[in-house]
Structure 1
Amino acid sequence: MKVAVYPGSFDPITKGHEDIIKRAAKVFDELIVVVSVNPDKKGLFDIPERVELIKRVVKPYANVKVESFDGLVINYMKTHDIKVIIKGLRAMSDFEYEFQMALINNKLDSSVETLFMMTNTEYSFLSSSAVKQTAMFGGCIKGLVPDEILNDVIKKVGNRR
């Protein structure tokens, strides 16, 4: 069985993330979206909230499941004996960072491969940070996040203002 992990902070999940999930789910028998803590980012949603939001978004994809993990992704991979990491790329700046992470992961466990998927050009500008900032200043985020979670993001941002 071909299994892959799509790790990220997903705070919140965007249409770009959903696009990568949808496409990776066609390539692999099972795709596990792993919500992880990024110590460099201040979270809007806590980890259990993110997991629940993503579960609602991926409900149509029978071969996609959602979990959380606190620690190095490579340790998650070892624990679950999974050999493929999926990473989405929007721009060259993403590539530089993700390439560095792929090299570090390879150094930690050379049996794990990282596969890069280019985002759909429709979402090449999109990031969770941009969504949060747009919402915080009252901008329209429809079409930036999946419809299933649109009101959750608006409500959460409203509570933080």
Structure 2
Amino acid sequence: MSEQTVVVAPGKSAQLAVANDFNVTVNDPGDAVKVHGSDATQLKRAGVAEDLLAVANAIPNQTGTNGQPFTYTIPANTFSGGVENTLTAVKGDGSALPGWMSFNPTTRVLSGPAATGTTAVKITAKSRGGQVISDEFNVTVS
């Protein structure tokens, strides 16, 4: 039987009895553990585990024209795994986005009246289980 790697959600039991009397012992919530495929399905169905969060498709660099409206929708398939992932956006150094740029996490849209320069943008996904992963790309406006 194939194995899957899952991440156990915080606040869940440290020892779980799953299919075929197979036991999973987790030292810390958020640890990745390998389990049989059918066991992983049961853990995910019970809400105690989720697939590993990963960057499935890197966000390509974007361009804009100074003074013109800039709009870019983060593709829905950028991240895989996790459950109920929420997105946030900051500059690559972790500081706030430039004044001209805003991010709507519900629609996944970056937008604003573009201003000359290059901005590294970091999009971070956080799963319900607490996993966090980011992807970074540049927005160059000329």
Give TM-score, length-normalised by structure 1.
Answer: 0.24
Structure with the bigger percentage of helix? 1
In terms of Rg, which structure is larger? 2
Which has the bigger relative contact order, CA under 8 A and spacing at least 6? 1
Structure with the bigger percentage of strand? 2
